[in-house]
Structure 1
Amino acid sequence: MATSDTRTQLLNAAEHLFAEHGYRGTSVRAITRLAGANLAAVGYHFGSKAELMAAVARRVIEPINTAQCAGLDELLARTPCPLVSELVEAFAGPLFDEMSAGDEAGARTSRLIVRILSDPAEEARGWTGPAEETVRERYLAAFARVLPGLPPEELWFRMRGILAVAAVDRLEVHQQPSPGCTSPVAGEAARRWAITFLTAAMSAPPTRT
């Protein structure tokens, strides 16, 4: 197997196993066995299991980040203060677009994002790279301009909620499709429902202390 193919196979195997079993529940041996690679391959290509986790997360998240940035650029080119609903759609829309409810790959991406959000292992939650940080800071600033009364900590909590709602919905639709609905219709409906729901959540008054 060529070196580049081995790296890709390791990424594919790790994505599958991390999504199913989490960071601590996945061994290097299990990854290399599924990838058809030798035990030293993870160290050779990535340096460590933690770096492999980061590479897997980047591969999954970066297309979403790119789409989120493009959506925000388009909004801000039109007005410095877009509607909350427009910001929510620019931020949440790519989560639905990149996590198709109609196939296993979309469900696996959803599971992995849920793992990243909830896995107690620091290596799973601490993968954040410059691209993800840039997206977060740009959207935080944009939401802060249109929701000036919301404390930064609560604003970021609500943005994390957007990620969680989208990921859980994509996973649920794949595992338990709505009776009588085809996946594309269910997915588009869920996208609209989520944007309506999340716009209301983001627009709610600050929580009283």
Structure 2
Amino acid sequence: MAPSDTRTQLLDVAERLFAERGYRGTSIRAVTDLAGANLAAVGYHFGSKADLLAAVARRAIAPITAAQSAGLDRLLARTPDPSVADLVEAFAGPMFDGMPAGDEGGARTSRLIVTILSDPAEETRAWPGPDEDAVRERFVAAFRRALPGLPPEELWFRMRGILAVTAVDRVDLYNRRPSDGPPPAADAARRWAITFLAAAVSAPPTGT
């Protein structure tokens, strides 16, 4: 197996295992065994298990991050103060577009996002790099302008809620059984979620 192929295979296997088992439940040996690589391959290509998780997360989420950034650019080109609904659309829309219902890759990314949000391991919160941090801070700044009375901690709680609702919905649709009835139209869940999330994010600060 060529070095580049080994790296890709390690990423593919690790993405599935991290999503299924969490950070602590995924061992380097399990990754290398399933990838058909030697035990030292993770250290050679990534450095550590935490670095492997970071590489997995960045690879999976990079297209979504790029689309979020582009959407925010388009919004700000139209107006310096977009509405909350438009900001939610720009933030959540790329997750629906990048993780279409029924798509195995999209479901895997969705499960990975759920793991990142819910896994207690500190490493699952340390993976973002400068690109991810920059996009997050741009959205935080835009939401703060749109919701000036909302405390920063509550704003970030609501933004995490956007991520959680979207990821769980994508996983649920992928796991849908025939007995559950026909799935919603292709864009219906996207519209429902953005309407719901815009209302939730726009709610008055708690306790006021």
Q: Cα offset for 1:136?
A: 1.1
Gaps of 5+ in 1: none
The root-mean-square deviation of aligned C-alpha atoms, in Å, is 1.2
* 1:154 counterpart residue number: 154
Bigger mean CA deviation after superposition, 47-56 or 97-106: 97-106
* 1:204 counterpart residue number: 203
Q: What does the per-residue CA deviation read over 1:90-138, in whole Å, with 9 as the maximum and x for residues that have no partner?
A: 0000111111221221111110000001111111121121111111110
Following the alignment from structure 1 to structure 2, what is the Cα–Cα distance between the partners of residues 140 and 69?
A: 12
Name the SS for the 2:24 alignment partner. coil
Following the alignment from structure 1 to structure 2, what is the Cα–Cα distance between the partners of residues 68 and 81?
A: 17
**Selected match of 1:179 from 176, 181, 185:** 181
2:119 is the alignment partner of 1:119: yes
* 2:75 counterpart residue number: 75
The number of equivalent residue pairs is 206
Q: Cα offset for 1:45?
A: 0.5
Gaps of 5+ in 2: none
Runs of 4+ in 1 over 4 A off after TM superposition: none
* 2:49 counterpart residue number: 49
Identity %: 74
Q: What does the per-residue CA deviation read over 1:170-201, in whole Å, with 9 as the maximum and x for residues that have no partner?
A: 0011101551237xx2x411100000000100
Instruction: Give the TM-score, by structure 1 length.
Output: 0.95
* 1:7 counterpart residue number: 7
Task: Please tell me whether the aligned partners of residues 173 and 183 of structure 2 are also in contact (alpha carbons under 8 angstroms).
Answer: no
Following the alignment from structure 1 to structure 2, what is the Cα–Cα distance between the partners of residues 188 and 96?
A: 9
Instruction: Give the TM-score, by structure 2 length.
Output: 0.96
Following the alignment from structure 1 to structure 2, what is the Cα–Cα distance between the partners of residues 91 and 34?
A: 35
Following the alignment from structure 2 to structure 1, what is the Cα–Cα distance between the partners of residues 127 and 191?
A: 30
